[in-house]
Amino acid sequence: MIDVVVSGVLFDMDGTLVDSTTVVEAAWSRFGAEHGIDPAEILGFSHGRQTIDTVQRFLPHLTPDEQRVIVDTMIAAEIDYTEGIVEVPGAGAFVQRLVDAGVPVALVTSAPRELAVKRMVAAGVPVPEALVPSEDAERSKPHPEGYLRGAALLGVPAERCLAFEDAPAGVEAAVASGATTVVVGTLEAPVTAGLPRITGYDGLEVTREGSAFRIRG
């Protein structure tokens, strides 16, 4: 159950607005096969983090330049691969309701800008004008920098924002930013204890209350 009054909304992308599970798992499975690493171990770490963080974690013996080549190659392969990418139930309509109501909305993602936009478009989810992709955040989730930057783009303190997240690193980042945080999906982790949870966006209502907005459902 959600019933909060806020001045802005911050969204993660993968797993929160866009279901890209098939594409992401395939990419990391190929990476694991190429480097002799169990894909399950990779996926257990990578969710919600920038690609460079995962490559550094599992291939620490490579030089920074070698790591960057792997990252660039992986991202280039994913940019035009949108088959199977769909919205999280109700995500597109909910984002549109927020926009129509005048709610300031930002997307805060560990994906690069081009990849993020293509996935959002493929899933039929409106792309917010305020966007914090991986290249605009020096420190990736679980550091709160991305969410703080997103709130700043909206001109709203993070403490006055509602954040939607699905991954441990992302939830940790959103909570650390001061935003009221909602868990999307079935994630169970220490960081999610006591947080409100949804499995989709159908039924979430948006109403204006003075200069703020009430979101409930």
Residues labelled as active-site residues: 12, 14
R_g (Cα) of the chain, nearest Å: 17
CA distance 176 to 76: 31
* Residue 116 · residue 133 · CB < 8 Å: yes
Q: In whole angstroms, what separates CA 76 from the centre of its chain?
A: 19
Please, are residues 85 and 19 in contact by the beta-carbon 8 Å criterion?
yes
How many other CB atoms sit within 10 Å of the CB of residue 6? 21
CB proximity list for 66: less than 8 A, separation 6 or greater: 59
Query: With the C-alpha atoms ordered 48, 206, 100, 122, is the resulting torsion angle positive or negative?
Result: positive
